[in-house]
Amino acid sequence: MNRKMKRRVSGLLIGIAFIGIIVLLVMTFSDGRHSEYVAKAITLKHDVDEPHAEIARLKRQLALLKKKGCNLEEDLISLPVIFAVTPTYARPEQKAELTRLYQTLLLVPNLHWVIVEDAEAPTPLVKNLLASSGLSHTHLHAHTPPAQKLKAKDPHWAKPRGVLQRNTALEWLRSDGPLKVAPINPDGEPLGVVYFADDDNSYSIRLFEEMRYVQNVGVWPVGLVGGLMVERPLPSSDGRGVASFNAGYKPERPFPIDMAGFAINLATLRNHPDAKFLYEVQPGYQESQLLKQLTTKQELEVLADNCTKVYVWHTRTDKPKMREELQWKAQGRPPSNQDIEV
Ligand code: UDP
Ligand code: MN
C-alpha cells in the first residue's frame, strides 16, 4: 500500500469512528430524553387518582415482586371478602346488564359474586356468563311464586322484587359456603361483608373499598333514587351514627334507604340467623325490614366521606321495544336472534 492509499484508509477509518461517536451520542441523548418522558408519563399516571389505574399499577407491581420471589398473595387473600348478592331474571336486556356488572366487579379484589336467578333452574346464559367472567362466584336460583310476580301492566313498585332471591343468598351466606371462599378468623368464622348489588344499578369501584371493613352495618348515599338526585343518611353531629335521612319518599320508614345504600358484616348476618326479607311488608319497607333486625340508626357506620360522596346510582334500564321482532313473528319469519345469544 502506498502512502496515498494509507492516508485514504486512515481518513476513512477516522470518518467511520467519528460518525459512530455521533450516532452513539444521539442514541444516548434521545434514549435519555425518551426515559425522561416515560418517567413523566408514569408520574402523571400516579397523579391521576383513578382506582382502576391504581389497581392495574398494583397488579403490575405484584407481578414484579412475585418475580423477585416475594409472596404477597398471602396478604391479599387475608382481605375480608366482599359478597355481592345479585338477583337476576331473564329478559331481553339481562345479558347486557350482567356483562356491565361483572366487568365492574372484575376490578374489585377479593370479591365473590353470589348470583341468584329468578328461575326454576339455572339457565345456560347465566352459567356461561359466570364461567367466562373469571369471577369467583356461587350460582343459585329461586323462582318467585306466580302470586308475587309483577304482571306486564303492573307498575314496577306494585310487588317487591328480588325478595326470595336475596333470602336464598342469605341462607347460603349462613351455610358453610363462605368458609370455602373467605379468610377465616381465629373463631373459625369467615371474614367478609355482604352487599345487595342489583343487576341494573351503576357502581363506582370506589364503593367496594368503602364497604370492605364495615364492622356491623355501613351506609352511604345513593344517586337517582326515591325521586331525588341523591338520597342520603345525615350523620349525627356527635359522631354517633346517623341522626336522620334526607329521604322524600316515605321518610317515616325506620330506615328510609335504598338496597344499594348499605353493606352488612357477614358475622352480623350469621349472628342473626332469622333476619330476612319478607313479601308481607308495605312497598318500600324491604330495607327497613332487614335492617331493623340488625342495627339501630345510632350504630350505623357512616361511609363515603361522611355520606357526602355518591358511588352508586339507582339507574334503571328502559325496556327495549321489540316492535319489528313481534311483526316478524306474526309474519312467520325467524327471530333476529335465532341461534344467537344476545
Ligand atoms: N328481579 C328478579 N325478579 C323479578 C324482578 C327483578 O330477580 O321478577 C331482580 C332484578 O334483576 C334486580 C333486582 O331484582 O337485580 C331488583 O329489581 P329491579 O331492578 O326491577 O327493581 P327496582 O330497581 O325497580 O327496585
Ligand atoms: Mn333496579
What residue segments make up the domains of the chain, in order of their start? 81-324
Question: What percent of the chain is predicted at pLDDT more than 90?
Answer: 74
Catalytic residue (choose from 97, 210, 231, 287)? 287
Closest-CA residue, ligand 1 atom 19, reads 200
Least confident of 50-64, 75-89, 270-284: 50-64
Q: Cα angle vertex 205, ends 203, 208, to 5°?
A: 95
Residue whose CB lies within 8 A of the most ligand 1 atoms, among 198, 231, 319, for a mutation test: 198
Please tell me whether the overall predicted TM-score, pTM, comes out greater than 0.75 for this model: yes
Taking residues 61-76, report their average pLDDT: 66
Cell match 370492605: residue?
212
pLDDT value at position 155? Answer: 87
pLDDT value at position 169? Answer: 99
Let me know: does 173 contact 270? Beta carbons within 8 Å.
yes
- For the chain, the residue count is 342
| pLDDT category of residue 153 using cuts at 50, 70 and 90 | confident
Look over the chain and give the mean of its residue pLDDT values, rounded to a whole number. 88
Per-residue pLDDT of 225-282, as tens digits, reads 999 999 999 999 999 999 999 999 999 999 999 999 999 999 999 999 999 999 999 9
Query: Is the CB of 93 within 6 Å of ligand 1?
Result: no
Which of the following CATH numbers is that of domain 81-324: 1.10.10.10, 1.10.357.10, 3.90.79.10, 3.90.550.10? 3.90.550.10
In this predicted structure, the answer to whether residue 65 has a pLDDT above a threshold of 70 is no
pLDDT value at position 36? Answer: 42
| Nearest partner of 259 among 313, 167, 197, 317, judged by Cα | 197
CA of 313 relative to ligand 2 center, distance in Å: 10
Q: Rounded to an integer, what is the distance from CA 256 to the centroid of its chain?
A: 23
Tell me whether residue 129 is exposed, middle or buried, using C-beta atoms within 10 angstroms of its C-beta: 0 to 12, 13 to 18, 19 or more. Answer: buried
Residue whose CB lies within 8 A of the most ligand 1 atoms, among 148, 200, 277, 313, for a mutation test: 200
In this predicted structure, the answer to whether residue 308 has a pLDDT above a threshold of 60 is yes
pLDDT value at position 78? Answer: 85
Q: What does the alpha-carbon distance between residue 293 and residue 278 come to, in Å, rounded to a whole number?
A: 12
Least confident of 50-59, 182-191, 294-303, 327-336: 50-59
pLDDT value at position 150? Answer: 85
pLDDT value at position 237? Answer: 97
pLDDT value at position 18? Answer: 56
Per-residue pLDDT of 273-305, as tens digits, reads 999 999 999 999 999 999 999 999 999 999 999
Element containing residue 156 per DSSP (H, E): none
Per-residue pLDDT of 5-55, as tens digits, reads 666 656 655 655 555 555 444 444 444 444 444 444 443 444 445 656 666
Least confident of 17-31, 75-89, 196-210, 316-330: 17-31
Sign of the torsion formed by the C-alpha atoms of 281, 154, 88 and 246: negative
Closest-CA residue, ligand 1 atom 21, reads 161
